[in-house]
């Protein structure tokens, strides 16, 4: 004949069940956050942060400069501002002339 669990055992079992379900929910939330992050990235990748139009990537001396096809904003990736700042004045002029309309 199976023994009836004591009150303490019942409390323990309920707590374990709660912990188990909580973990599943937390994983669901994490996955949701990851999915949302992925969705946002797909939505925003190579889009202008100001107007949302497509960016045109131009490689100049290993610096990838992204220029908006609409508002003409220029965007840089991590470390690229530093790289641009190290260009000689003539290099900077050439970089800007890449974008200037003839």
Q: Which residues bind Zn ion (CB under 5 A)?
A: 48, 50-51, 68, 70-71, 73
Nearest approach in angstroms of CB 61 to Zn ion is 24
Query: Please, which residue, 58 or 87, has the CB nearer to Zn ion?
Result: 58
Q: Reduce the DSSP state of residue 64 to 3 states and report it.
A: strand
Query: Please, which residue, 21 or 56, has the CB nearer to Zn ion?
Result: 56
Please tell me the distance from the alpha carbon of residue 72 to that of residue 51, in angstroms, as a whole number: 10
Query: Please, which residue, 47 or 91, has the CB nearer to Zn ion?
Result: 47
Per the listing, tokens 């641009």 go with: 84
Nearest approach in angstroms of CB 49 to Zn ion is 8
Please tell me the distance from the alpha carbon of residue 64 to that of residue 71, in angstroms, as a whole number: 18
Nearest approach in angstroms of CB 46 to Zn ion is 12
Query: Please, which residue, 5 or 52, has the CB nearer to Zn ion?
Result: 52
Q: What token pair was written down for 93?
A: 């002029």
Burial of 50 (0-12, 13-18, 19+ CB in 10 A): exposed
Nearest approach in angstroms of CB 44 to Zn ion is 12
């Amino acid at each position: 004949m199976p023994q009836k669990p004591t009150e303490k055992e019942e409390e323990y079992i309920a707590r374990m069940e709660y912990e188990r379900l909580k973990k599943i929910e937390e994983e669901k939330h994490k996955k949701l956050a990851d999915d949302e992050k992925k969705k946002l990235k797909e939505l925003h990748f190579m889009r202008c942060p100001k107007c949302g139009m497509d960016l045109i990537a131009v490689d100049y001396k290993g610096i990838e400069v992204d220029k908006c096809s609409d508002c003409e904003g220029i965007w840089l990736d991590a470390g690229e501002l530093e790289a641009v700042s190290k260009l000689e004045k003539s290099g900077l002029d050439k970089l800007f002339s890449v974008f200037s309309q003839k």
